[in-house]
Chains A and B, each alone.
Chain A
């Protein structure tokens, strides 16, 4: 990998490489601020095209998707395209990966950059041949004119001297975009050469682990030294530093330490559930109100319960830090390198540009690595022992001391008029806000609108046409660290919404899929805040699902089929039909058929992979384990008690993509999660007549 310094040096020199800086997505897009590039492309005389971009690869295939977009517009030879990880700096001020926004937010900029490079190379070739540039064309890394051909590498020096065209034409037909492209990191992975955070080795490096108070909010009362290792008190507990990982891990068991359980020693899942139940009486904040109050002829009510979950990435949290008096260098699997840089700088009392952050591959992210806690810990330990240190969270640390997906309670009601028409819907979500990466300001807390985008995805944006809709959010303060998890606020809300809609369909004597279609009629567009939900797109997704899933075809006794759908972020439309069998109370999900409209499809192979991934993720939460608390601490410690879906529990998965339409791709990593759990719960009802209103699914 080239370092930032080399790279910038070459860019400043101009030739012989052709280097272009541009902005790809991020919060600055569209703002009237000075141009601040956060991505670069460079074409070298050896024909290699390098895309440097600050998106973290955590399995979502972002490095592949972004390279495909660039290579297509640039007319590059795919075999010569490389992707290099950007690191935070003045040149890369706004890196970060989350919200299923990487492809969506980078698409236009990458195309513009690719088109710019292509036009400059074509212009350079035309000048060399002394012909009109309209008589030349670019194709797979070359420029061609009447049988003559230059490779891009032969043109870079000349192209770098040309003015940058203001408005280069975009290609009309894609070659790579829309084609199934295998991931660019595949060969490294299958040979063991891919480098994750824990694979970093730095000269003189030591290995560290932290013994933490088991109760959240607890502290260290006292501890004793352990032979052969360094033992230091740090913010999170007691750090053990050794010359080998094993020596550090072994010393954990020998460490004599006394904890103070702290103010939350009596906390448990039951305590939290009671807090939610008590808070349910509170009216909370009004998120959305459609229609005036109505008095339905018949009302149905239900309460849904959603637990805490861990991310449980297979690579646990870790960071390698080398802190010196006036600077620090970190190697960290992170989704938020700029935040790491800023927070480590604050911790050390240095300015951010003194902190170098190298982003490694991530052995899973799912939102957990938007946090910087583990980077701060590594920096703190390195400073204390005056040596480069690799901090390893054990599996147990990772399960017990991460931040969690918030638990919630959902109070639902639906009302029918005398003719049996659904005329009223209420959904009250009772939960706690994210608090692990900073807390909202008082002004935010007092603003009812804050609770829509910061807590209630899937609640306020219910896509169905019902004359009276009232949605609310009740906030329950908690000390439990909470933060983003795959699909963030949606999975809990969508579970409650899509299951309760199924209850209403059943009460109305209607087929649940047809009922949804009926509730997705005019008006075609639902606009709330910045969201614009196009009901015809969701209808089309459900209609295709009806066909592809053989909806309505009878299943054997003990088997059932369920449906659920969701529009994520107002743009990605996903519907699943799940087929389950229930034998002696044991649920097996046999098959899942999914239909997805994610706008323009960049890499179908990658989109389908993300759908498979989102389904397995959701099934883990439905069928396997949750995080529970007892005596102030997390009860689970490994994949035995926080089990996740295994290969033999994985259903047959069949994904259908609605053909690309429009000119914009939408996100896919998160949107594939929310509808799978309610689809399964509804299938269980179809199979058994029993409603699932609490996760994970137990005791049928």
Chain B
């Protein structure tokens, strides 16, 4: 199908099978490879992007549902407090899961500007990091919350 969607503030048109998951639309059609494949089943969180302001698993959204909607990927963040906090806390190790982590954190802070550690754990528990960066992710989200409120 031919579809239009808005990615990182720009309207793009793609021509792909209507059941193509948004993940592969982003990666193969739009060459936005910052969004990662980890499991293809909505379990690991590596493919997380924002739809509007909400975190969604791009591997679970077929193009037919994505059409006409607005998405933000890691490439669409510009000096976001989460990115700055991630660098300040030196969170990443291999980095592969971090795009999904950061997008989820953006959605959390948009909804809950001052999250407790329990809020953070609840929001991030469906994300897998095999390098074990979890402790620093907690710290980075708290620090991003402060950066946001200081703005």
Contact = CB atoms under 8 A, between A and B. Distances in A.
B20 A246 contact: yes
Contacts of B40: 249, 394-395
A247 B86 CA distance: 35
A27 to B, nearest CB: 25
Nearest to A192: B34
B97 interface: yes
A650 interface: yes
Contacts of B132: 612-617, 645, 650
A648 interface: yes
B27 to A, nearest CB: 7
A246 B21 contact: yes
Interface string A377-406: 000000000000000101100000000000
B93 A190 contact: no
B126 to A, nearest CB: 8
Contacts of A60: 93
A185 B96 CA distance: 12
Nearest to B137: A647
Contacts of A314: 36, 38, 44, 46, 94, 96-97, 128-130
Contacts of B131: 59, 364, 613, 616
A60 B20 CA distance: 35
A195 B83 contact: no
A186 interface: yes
A198 B37 contact: yes
B87 A186 contact: yes
A245 B127 contact: no
Given A59-B93, A201-B31, A315-B36, A616 B87 contact: no
A652 B136 CA distance: 11
Interface string B42-86: 011010000000000000000000000000011101000011001
Interface stretch (A84-92, A334-342, A536-544, A636-644): A636-644
A188 B87 CA distance: 10
Nearest to B37: A198
Contacts of B125: 646-648
A486 to B, nearest CB: 10
A187 interface: yes
B41 A195 contact: no
B72 to A, nearest CB: 11
Interface size class of B (residues with CB under 8 A): 35 or more
A25 interface: no
Contacts of B82: 190
B95 A191 contact: no
Q: Is the interface of B mostly helix, strand, loop or mixed?
A: loop
A246 B110 CA distance: 32
A59 B95 contact: yes
A183 interface: yes
Contacts of B31: 201
A366 to B, nearest CB: 7
B142 interface: no
A187 B46 CA distance: 18
Contact of B94 (A361, A644, A652): A361
Contacts of B92: 59, 183, 185-186, 189-190
B7 to A, nearest CB: 12
A247 B97 contact: no
B43 A198 contact: no
Contacts of A188: 95
A650 B1 CA distance: 44
Nearest to A188: B95
A657 interface: no
A361 B95 contact: yes
Contacts of A256: none
A61 interface: yes
Interface string B116-145: 000011101111111111111110000000
Given A189-B95, A647-B120, A647-B121, A246 B28 contact: yes
Given A246-B24, A361-B94, A653 B44 contact: no
A136 to B, nearest CB: 35
A366 B39 contact: no
A685 to B, nearest CB: 25
A650 B135 CA distance: 7
In this complex, the member of A182, A198, A363, A612 whose beta carbon has the largest number of chain B beta carbons within 10 angstroms is: A363
A192 B73 contact: yes
A250 interface: yes
Nearest to B93: A59
A688 interface: no
A605 interface: yes
B121 to A, nearest CB: 4
A198 B26 CA distance: 13
Interface of A: 57-61, 182-183, 185-196, 198-199, 201, 207, 244-247, 249-250, 311-316, 361-366, 392, 394-395, 605, 609, 612-617, 638-640, 644-648, 650, 652-653
Interface of B: 16-17, 19-21, 24, 27-29, 31-41, 43-44, 46, 73-75, 77, 82-83, 86-87, 90, 92-99, 102, 120-122, 124-138
13 contacts: A59-B92, A60-B93, A189-B86, A190-B102, A192-B34, A193-B75, A195-B33, A198-B27, A244-B20, A244-B24, A314-B129, A395-B38, A639-B44
Given A191-B34, A195-B33, 14 more contacts: A190-B74, A190-B83, A192-B74, A198-B33, A198-B37, A244-B28, A244-B29, A314-B94, A392-B37, A395-B39, A612-B135, A617-B130, A646-B124, A647-B134
